[in-house]
Amino acid sequence: MKKLMTILLFTCSLMTVSAQYPDGKQLLERIDGNMSSENRIFTSSMVIYGRRTTHTVKMKTWTAGEKKSFTEYLFPAREQGTKMLKLEDQLWIYSPSTDRIIQIAGHMLRQSVMGSDLSYEDLMEDNRLVQQYNANVTGTEEVDGRQCWVVELKAVVPDIAYQGMKLWVDQERNIPLREEMYAKSGTLLKRTELSDVKRIGNRGYPRKILFRDMLRDGKGTEFIIEDIEFNVPIPEHIFSKASLKK
pLDDT tens for each residue of 99-115: 999 999 888 888 999 89
Rounded CA-CA distance 109/235 in Å is 27
- Tell me the pLDDT tens digit for each residue of 135-164: 999 999 999 999 999 999 999 998 888 999
Task: Look at residue 176 and tell me whether its pLDDT is greater than 90.
Answer: yes
How far out from the chain centre does Cα 4 lie?
47
Q: Return the minimum-mean-pLDDT range out of 15-24, 93-102, 169-178.
A: 15-24
Q: Which of 1-10, 15-24, 36-45 has the highest mean pLDDT?
A: 36-45
Q: What is the CA radius of gyration of the chain?
A: 20
Q: Are 177 and 144 in contact (CB under 8 A)?
A: yes
Phi, psi values for residue 50, rounded to 5°:
-85, 180
Query: Among positive and negative, which fits the CA dihedral 180, 224, 227, 113?
Result: negative
Phi, psi values for residue 122, rounded to 5°:
-60, -40
Task: Look at residue 15 and tell me whether its pLDDT is greater than 60.
Answer: no
Rounded CA-CA distance 59/26 in Å is 33
Rounded CA-CA distance 113/120 in Å is 6
Work out the mean pLDDT of the chain and round it to a whole number: 90
Phi, psi values for residue 131, rounded to 5°:
-80, -15
Q: Which of 71, 54, 181 has its CA nearest to residue 123?
A: 71
Helix (H) or strand (E) holding 2: helix 2-20
Rounded CA-CA distance 197/215 in Å is 28
pTM: 0.88
b/e 200-232 (16+ beta carbons within 10 angstroms → b): eeebbbbbebbbbbeeeeeebbbbbbeebebee
pLDDT band at 3 (very low <50, low <70, confident <90, very high): low
Helix (H) or strand (E) holding 30: helix 24-35
Q: How many CA atoms lie within 13 A of 93 on its CB side?
A: 16
Mapping DSSP to helix (H, G, I), strand (E, B) and coil, where does residue 33 land? helix
